[in-house]
């Protein structure tokens, strides 16, 4: 078992992102920046029907349009499409304009079918079936422990609540897609992905090519949040178009398309009965939930993890529990893994119920948590956070804040794994002039992977981070995991440690010098003569672990006359083992919290039941938090070097929405039980909205 | 987007001529380019009017100010005198879009913009406003829609400046068939009350040249409530203008936005407020009058309490 140095020189220092300057100056090459001689633009024809039997697709006219070099159908022969925006065909041409004209020239013979896009409609027995062979909502899976019915009678207080969340879209800043080129060696695909090897294997499978003939390059990418593990239909179409055209093709989705077919977080409709003994000890949890994952979380859910089931009763132990969950299919795009799949939504349901129970018990909600949370680390985090936030001073009885603008506070928690992948490999090349290149077949989803690798290498080699060049995002480098589950940092750091440690040993052996690090580095490297030293290594045991907590406190102000919620402050207390670089870690926290504010207050995919379309496929009406919506975010990272490196990208997103929802309930004295908490819902919860016409 | 010609007009006469039967005027382009890209509006030619002389000026005056149609929203927002003389106009300008949008968006474009109804704006929905058969919002998701309408379409007017200018009793000067026509704000939008396909009263080829704002009312205010804290459309907006004599309102005009296809005004409310000191009872009664006859849809009744709050707050701002 290896250990990190007890007195690190670089680890834990605030190292700015090594690729920050490249990103802000536009030097960084994203998939959509790739230029190649003869590059064509690809575009996709999508179903205008929410459900239809496609009889025939005729591409001939499109092929003959000026500037069009290729046209392909997604599938030959009749098929059924099951949502508005499902891919039908694609064209490649010399300009977007040429492609748009050609898409209009594609003839599609189709028979529209009945459809259903809203959960409440799809549940009805006579609803149109999304899949012919099965009802939209199968009977729930039931898990039961203890005796719920008896336990309900033994409680001092039982609350019943109904908590709902909306379908949330990933909307990464960089859309899905990429640039694909064929040559004698096979395919090179610059895909915006969080898993270069899963894209490589997906492309090889779809194109019936040897995996060795497919190279995927993702030097930089603009976010994925779980929706970018595979090549996607768009990636495969780009490759097919490039093959047919005999020219490279760039196919990047538009913002409009992002709202339709590349993933989302399922909705939830959670009915909770939660009961406790008089001292607050949780005794019974009775739960029913359904949500929609669109047309399903089946083959379309690349990377998995997109189902509607939630991990309940989340972080709490309840001896008697009955959990019934199911998924309802609708004619809408399929869900995919989305930053801590299930957790933020589970947290919202459970933590809402906890606060409602605390009110009924007459307990401080923080005390109720401390009473029932089995996690040692979170117990510590509650105390640190309460102090930092000023919980004792700020917490008042629900609704007791004076004036039309009411202030409230809330708290919620997280649990996550975040361990690394033991199969991660890497290599280092040390040149005679002392320069160092570390190569890893991982990609940076935006968390600062290059920086984590550079900091680790610098620590082991006794160098500064800027003396290390880190190359990532190429399937020609030693393989690493996809960036999901917050695994990347805990995969990369132990691997780089191993690679660099082996390299030091090898360099010592080759040069005969007892210490090659730090100031001896250049002299040692010079002794290599004309042959660079290349050393490979792999993930090493003992340098990382798994399992984090995380607690967040929120303070909000709610205008009870207009319904507007303003988040005033979020305090985050988060552990992530050994902190490699506080700057990139804090950056993860900021992003997670801001995304949580979106889930809490703004984000909702809206479907129209009449036409079956997504009504808000843009940033105008699919609302994301802007800088004016972002409060002070006060971050406390607990450094635990003895645990090694653990990821934190997902846990920091989990509790934000629940904490905000609890703060709003605390401010108002009534709960808005549905996310996002819009002014409309606040006014309705306050009983201020008159009954609409029948 | 479909192909089009691009020409630049150097005079208002040539602008009209160049437009032809299927052209569109292009100024800031925030609204038009989006519609072209989403196939909501077709044009064989865009006539760039940004080079038209004399329309880019803010001209103060003792009795009224003139603001050219090509003046940007940012120029209105940043003008130090407007902030003092027409604070409501300043506030309305400051709430338009984002800084980047305000930098290029023009007064004329803001007034002439189309509905933001998400059915109208959807490329694959042929709604009543696009000469389809039905208004989808009535049976669909109408959370952003109107409480009042004179026709079957329930999409509301969303121009911030129209609401502020209505309260200030401004006049739009519109070039129609070679003649300058003076239109009140009510006249500029009245067609949209009756006609579901109309966004305003402008006919093809009409060109807003400028607005004239009387300085008669020394106090004005504009407030809106959105779902987000910036860069978001109003759910409801309210503007008011008046003079204050010994704490009493004189010459009051109140207008509400985003609840009707036209800037919503109620003469009885303005009359009621005349000579009143705006205390709680007065403000509540004014709100009653302004919202009398509102017909909420299935998802937008929240706009009623929101409008009441805004009416109270906007009128109180006049006292500040």
A48 touches chain B (CB under 8 A): yes
Q: What is the mean pLDDT of chain B?
A: 97
Give the model's confidence band at A302: pLDDT under 50 very low, under 70 low, under 90 confident, else very high: very low
Interior angle at CA A232, CA A229 and CA A235, nearest 5: 110
Distance, CA of B166 to CA of B254 (rounded, Å): 8
* pLDDT above 60 (res A329): yes
Q: pLDDT of A335-370, one tens digit each?
A: 999 999 999 999 999 999 999 999 999 999 999 999
Q: Which residues lie below 8 Å from residue B288, measured CB to CB, with a gap of 6+? A: none
Q: How far is CA B103 from the centre of its chain?
A: 18
Return the pLDDT at A693: 55
All structural domains of chain A with their residue ranges = 37-46+52-113+171-261, 117-170+263-374, 420-538
Residue A300: pLDDT over 70: no
Chain A residues touching B122 at Cβ < 8 A: 611, 613, 615, 617
Q: Round to whole Å and give the CA distance between A582 and A577.
A: 12
Give residue ranges of B with CB < 8 Å to any A CB: 1-3, 116, 118-119, 122-125, 136, 139-141, 143-144, 225, 227-233, 235, 295-302, 304-306, 308-310, 312-313
Residue matched to tokens 């005999």: A246
Beta strands in A141-267 (DSSP E): 141-145, 157-165, 168-169, 177-183, 186-191, 214-216, 249-252, 264-265
Those residues with Cβ within 8 angstroms of residue A498's Cβ, 6 or more apart along the chain or in another chain:
A2, A426, A537, A538, A539, A540
**Fold of domain B219-319:** Enolase-like; domain 1 (3.30.390)
pLDDT at A297: 54
**Phi and psi torsions of A631, nearest 5°:** -85, -175
Residues B147-189 pLDDT 10s = 999 999 999 999 999 999 999 999 999 999 999 999 999 999 9
Contacts of A605 in chain B (CB under 8 A): none
Cβ–Cβ below 8 Å for A610 and B139: yes
Residues B147 and A690: their CA atoms lie apart, in Å, by 12
Tell me the average pLDDT across A468-491: 97
Q: Do B229 and A679 touch (CB under 8 A)?
A: no
Q: How far apart are CA A229 and CA A223, in angstroms?
A: 11
Residue A307 has a pLDDT of 74
The tokens describing A291, both together, are 């949500």
**Considering only CB atoms, which chain B residues are within 8 Å of A620?**
116, 233
Q: Which residues of A touch B232 (CB under 8 A)?
A: 623
Same fold yes or no, A37-46+52-113+171-261 and A117-170+263-374: yes
* A21-47: average pLDDT: 96
Task: Tell me the chain A residues in contact with residue B225 when contact means C-beta distances shorter than 8 Å.
Answer: 562-564, 679
| pLDDT at residue number B209 | 98
Chain A residues touching residue B136 (CB < 8 angstroms)? 608, 610-611
Opening angle at CA B32, ends A42 and B180, nearest 5 = 160
Q: What is the ipTM of this complex?
A: 0.97
Give the pLDDT band (50/70/90) at residue A308. Answer: confident
Considering only residues A299 and B65, tell me which one the structure prediction assigns the higher pLDDT.
B65
Kindly give, in sequence order, each residue whose CB lies less than 8 Å from that of residue A392, ignoring residues fewer than 6 positions away. A386
Angle at B288 (CA atoms; ends B282, B294), nearest 5 degrees: 160
Give me the residue from A616, A628, A684 closest to B118, CB to CB. Answer: A616
Give residue-wise pLDDT tens across range A117-146: 999 999 999 999 999 888 999 999 999 999
CATH class of the domain whose range is A117-170+263-374: alpha beta
Six-digit token pair at A10?
């670089």
Fold of A37-46+52-113+171-261: Aldehyde Oxidoreductase; domain 4 (3.30.365)
Average pLDDT estimate for A4-12:
96
CA A16/CA A584 separation, integer angstroms: 8
Length of chain B counted residue by residue: 320
Q: How confident is the model at residue A299 (pLDDT cuts 50, 70, 90)?
A: very low
Write down the number of H helices and E strands in chain B.
13, 11
* pLDDT value at residue A296: 79
Among A658, A660, A653, which Cα is nearest to A569's? A660
Is A652 in a helix, a strand, or coil?
helix
Percent of chain A residues topping a pLDDT of 70: 98
* A82 Cβ neighbours under 8 A, 6+ residues apart: A50, A51, A130, A131, A295, A331
Other beta carbons within 10 angstroms of residue A32's beta carbon come to 16
Mean pLDDT lowest among A114-118, A139-143, B289-293:
A139-143
- For tokens 């929405």, what's the residue? A657
Q: Give the span between the Cα atoms of A308 and A327, in whole angstroms.
A: 6
Q: Does domain A420-538 have CATH number 3.40.630.30?
A: no
- Once rounded to an integer, what is the mean pLDDT over residues B28-36? 97
How much is the pLDDT for A303? Answer: 39
Beta carbons of A613 and B233 less than 8 Å apart: no
Identity of the residue in B125, B235, B312 whose CB atom sits nearest the CB atom of A613? B125
Q: How does pLDDT run across A497-547, given as a tens digit for each residue?
A: 999 999 999 999 999 999 999 999 999 999 999 999 999 999 999 999 999
Inter-chain CB proximity A97 and B3 less than 8 Å: yes
Check CB contact under 8 Å for B119 and A564: no
Q: Name the pTM for this structure.
A: 0.97
Contact A613 B3 (CB under 8 A): no
Task: Tell me the chain B residues in contact with residue A611 when contact means C-beta distances shorter than 8 Å.
Answer: 122, 124-125, 136
Q: Provide the percentage of residues in chain B whose pLDDT is more than 90.
A: 98
How many CB pairs (< 8 A) connect A and B? Answer: 109
> Quick one: pLDDT band at residue A306, thresholds 50, 70, 90?
low
Average pLDDT, chain A: 96
Distances in Å between the alpha carbon of B127 and those of A256, A495, A605, B296? 19, 58, 21, 20
pLDDT band at A319 (very low <50, low <70, confident <90, very high): very high
The enclosing H or E element of A519 equals: none
Domain locations in chain B as residue ranges: 219-319
């Amino acid at each position: 078992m290896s250990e990190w140095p007890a007195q690190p020189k670089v680890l834990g220092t605030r190292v700015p992102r090594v690729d920050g300057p490249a990103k802000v100056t536009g030097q960084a090459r994203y998939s959509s920046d790739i230029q190649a001689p003869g590059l064509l633009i690809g575009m996709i024809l999508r179903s205008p029907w929410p459900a239809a039997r496609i009889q025939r697709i005729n591409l001939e006219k499109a092929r003959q349009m000026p500037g069009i070099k290729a046209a392909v159908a997604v599938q030959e022969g009749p098929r059924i499409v099951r949502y508005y925006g499902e891919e039908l065909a694609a064209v490649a041409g010399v300009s977007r304009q040429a492609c748009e004209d050609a898409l209009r020239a594609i003839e599609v013979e189709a028979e529209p079918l009945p459809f259903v896009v809203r959960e409440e409609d799809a549940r009805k027995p006579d609803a149109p079936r999304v899949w012919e062979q099965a009802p939209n909502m199968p009977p729930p899976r039931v898990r039961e422990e203890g005796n719920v019915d008896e336990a309900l009678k033994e409680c001092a207080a039982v609350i019943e609540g109904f908590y709902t969340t909306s379908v949330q879209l990933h909307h990464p800043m960089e859309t899905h897609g990429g640039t694909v080129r064929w040559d004698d060696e096979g395919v090179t695909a610059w895909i915006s992905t969080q898993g270069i090897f899963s894209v490589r294997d997906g492309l090889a499978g779809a194109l019936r090519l040897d995996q060795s003939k497919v190279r995927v390059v993702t030097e930089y990418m603009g976010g994925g949040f779980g929706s970018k593990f595979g090549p996607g239909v768009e990636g495969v179409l780009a490759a097919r178009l490039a093959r047919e055209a005999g020219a490279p093709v760039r196919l990047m989705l538009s913002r409009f398309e992002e709202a339709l077919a590349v993933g989302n977080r399922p909705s939830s409709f959670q009915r909770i009965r939660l009961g406790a003994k008089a001292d607050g000890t949780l005794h019974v949890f009775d739960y029913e939930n359904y949500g929609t994952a669109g047309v399903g979380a089946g083959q379309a859910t690349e990377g998995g993890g997109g189902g509607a089931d939630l991990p309940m009763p989340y972080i709490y132990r309840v001896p008697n529990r009955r959990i019934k969950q199911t998924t309802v299919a609708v004619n809408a795009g399929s869900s995919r893994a989305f930053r801590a799949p299930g957790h933020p939504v589970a947290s919202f349901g459970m933590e809402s119920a906890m606060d409602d129970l605390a009110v009924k018990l007459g307990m401080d909600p923080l005390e109720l948590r401390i009473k029932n949370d089995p996690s040692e680390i979170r117990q510590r985090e509650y105390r640190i956070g309460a102090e930092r936030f000023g919980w004792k001073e700020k917490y008042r009885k629900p609704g007791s804040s004076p004036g039309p603008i009411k202030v409230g506070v809330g708290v919620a928690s997280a649990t996550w794994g975040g361990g690394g992948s033991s199969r991660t490999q890497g290599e280092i090349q040390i040149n005679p002039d002392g320069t160092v290149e570390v190569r890893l077949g991982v990609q940076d989803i935006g968390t600062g992977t290059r920086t984590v690798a550079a900091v680790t290498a610098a620590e082991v080699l006794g160098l500064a981070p800027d003396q290390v060049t880190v190359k990532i995002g190429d399937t020609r480098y030693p393989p690493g995991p996809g960036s999901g589950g917050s695994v990347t940092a805990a995969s990369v750091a132990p691997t780089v440690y191993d690679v660099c440690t082996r390299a030091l040993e090898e360099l010592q052996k080759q040069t005969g010098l007892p210490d090659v690090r730090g100031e001896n580095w250049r002299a040692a490297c010079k002794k290599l003569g004309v042959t660079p030293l290349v050393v490979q290594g792999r993930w090493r045991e003992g340098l990382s672990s798994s399992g984090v907590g995380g607690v967040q406190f929120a303070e909000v102000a709610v205008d009870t006359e207009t319904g507007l919620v303003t988040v005033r402050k979020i305090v985050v207390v988060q552990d992530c083992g050994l902190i490699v670089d506080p700057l990139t870690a804090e950056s993860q926290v900021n992003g997670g919290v801001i995304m949580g504010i979106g889930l809490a207050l703004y984000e909702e995919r809206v479907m129209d039941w009449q036409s079956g379309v997504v009504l808000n496929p843009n940033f105008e009406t699919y609302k994301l938090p802007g800088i004016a919506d972002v409060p002070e975010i006060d971050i406390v990272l607990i450094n635990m070097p003895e645990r090694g490196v653990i990821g934190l990208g997902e846990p920091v997103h989990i509790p934000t929405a629940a904490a905000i929802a609890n703060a709003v309930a605390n401010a108002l004295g009534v709960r808005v039980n549905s996310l996002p908490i819009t002014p409309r819902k606040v006014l309705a919860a306050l009983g201020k909205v008159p009954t609409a016409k029948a | 987007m479909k192909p089009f010609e691009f020409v630049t007009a150097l005079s208002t006469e040539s602008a009209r001529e160049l437009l032809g039967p299927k052209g569109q005027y292009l100024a800031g382009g925030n609204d038009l380019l989006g519609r072209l890209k989403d196939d909501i509006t077709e044009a064989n030619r865009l006539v760039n009017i940004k080079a038209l002389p004399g329309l880019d000026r803010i001209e103060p005056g003792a009795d009224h100010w003139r603001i050219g149609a090509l003046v940007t929203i940012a120029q209105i927002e940043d003008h130090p005198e407007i902030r003092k003389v027409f604070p409501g106009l300043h506030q309305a300008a400051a709430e338009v879009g984002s800084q980047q949008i305000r930098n290029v968006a023009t007064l004329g474009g803001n007034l002439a913009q189309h509905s933001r109804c998400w059915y109208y704006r959807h490329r694959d929905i042929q709604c009543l406003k696009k000469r389809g058969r039905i208004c989808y919002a009535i049976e669909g998701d109408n959370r952003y829609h109107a409480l009042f309408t004179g026709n079957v379409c329930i999409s509301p007017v969303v121009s911030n400046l129209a609401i502020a200018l209505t309260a200030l009793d401004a006049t739009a000067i519109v070039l129609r068939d070679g003649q300058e026509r003076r239109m009140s704000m009510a006249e500029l939008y009245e067609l949209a009350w009756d006609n579901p396909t109309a966004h305003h009263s402008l006919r093809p080829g009409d060109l807003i040249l400028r607005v004239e704002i009387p300085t008669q009312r020394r106090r004005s205010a504009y407030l809106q409530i959105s779902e987000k804290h910036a860069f978001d459309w109003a759910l409801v907006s309210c503007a008011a203008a008046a003079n204050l004599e010994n704490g009493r309102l004189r010459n009051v005009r109140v207008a509400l936005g985003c609840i009707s296809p036209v800037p919503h005004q109620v003469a009885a409310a303005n009359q009621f407020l005349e000579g009143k000191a705006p205390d709680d009872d007065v403000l509540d009664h004014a709100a009653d009058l302004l919202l009398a006859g509102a017909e909420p849809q299935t998802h937008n009744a929240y706009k009623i309490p929101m409008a009441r709050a805004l009416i109270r707050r906007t009128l109180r701002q006049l006292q500040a």
